[in-house]
Amino acid sequence: MTRKYIDCREIPSDSSCTVAIAADNDEELLEAAVQHAVAVHGHEDTPQFRQQIRQAFRTGSPPS
């Protein structure tokens, strides 16, 4: 299975967060990313926001 990640620096937010989250499937990654966005950035968990997060998924491992 292809590893995917999301880099918080690519998501528009009010803080200069540099967290990257990686997972082996889309659903795990989406849940982790949504939880991070809600807890840390105060985003609302909406279908539109989840779509925005999905579009920021990248394949591979986070760059060091």
Where on the chain is the footprint of Zn ion (CB under 5 A)? 8, 17, 19, 40
Q: Shortest Cβ distance from residue 4 to Zn ion (Å)?
A: 17
Q: Shortest Cβ distance from residue 17 to Zn ion (Å)?
A: 3
Angle between helices 47-55 and 26-41 (to 10 degrees): 110
1 or 63, CB closer to Zn ion? 63
Q: Shortest Cβ distance from residue 55 to Zn ion (Å)?
A: 16
- In DSSP terms, which residues pair with 5 in a beta bridge? 22, 58
